[in-house]
Amino acid sequence: MKGEISTSQDASVHILIADDSEIFRAGIKAILGSERSVCVDSEAASCNQIREILEDGRVPDVILLDISMDKEDDGLEMLSWLNGNYPGIKIVILSHYKELRFIVEAVRKGARAYLAKDTSPSELIGALTAVRQGNGVYFGESIPSELLARSFGSDDNMHKGRPYRLSDREMEILKMLSRGHSVKEISNVLAINVSTVESYKERIKNKLGADTTMEAVVFAVKQGLF
């Protein structure tokens, strides 16, 4: 069915690499090749090739997407198209650009992670796994936190004016969500029930005046809560 993530017998994260540089794609494949938790199923050098792959039924869990592939392609427009037509796919942006406008636009268009191309191989692998399983927004460590804090402030829906006083535990869980951890992972790390984590999530959203977990994370980053 269109828009659904393909299923498999293994627990690997199935990846489509979309970048117009053949050398870069080869490098990413080499990095990911030794990881049992990651499987690169397909590659695309253009937005048209992405569409062809998806329409052929080869739907990955995650697309690793460059936002500036060639002169005629706009990765941000492609991001909007993907979220409209294949909402089950998680999109990870991997870009040379660290400017605010690209980060903001990518998150607003539905990216689940934004990594700079100088990110470490270990962080890339961790981000891919976390994004597939989690509900938060993952920002690469090589993107300065002060940029993120200044990034999300113009939309009214990022802050509905409600008072917020997060407890230490709520802050801890919000930080973990921002790194892409799933509710189950948070439950395991903190040794609390899944239902308890869900309750904390709802409490956090209520305190921040957020409708979604992603909105809560973005608002927290903008407000400098961590």
What CATH code would you report for 152-222?
1.10.10.10
Helices and strands (DSSP H and E) totals, the chain: 10, 6
Region class of 180: left (phi > 0), else alpha (psi between -120 and 50), else beta: left
69 close to 45: Cβ distance less than 8 angstroms: yes
Contact 221, 159 (CB under 8 A): no
pTM of this structure: 0.64
Average pLDDT, the chain: 80
Q: Where in the chain is the domain with CATH 1.10.10.10?
A: 152-222
d(CA 30, CA 32): 6
Check pLDDT > 50 for residue 101. yes
Cβ(10)–Cβ(37) below 8 Å? no
Say which DSSP state 87 is in. T
CATH architecture of 13-149: 3-Layer(aba) Sandwich (3.40)
- Give residue-wise pLDDT tens across range 116-155: 888 888 888 888 877 877 756 777 776 665 555 555 544 4
- pLDDT reported for residue 224: 63
Per residue in 158-186, pLDDT tens?
Answer: 333 334 578 889 988 988 887 778 888 89
| From-to residues of CATH 3.40.50.2300 in the chain | 13-149
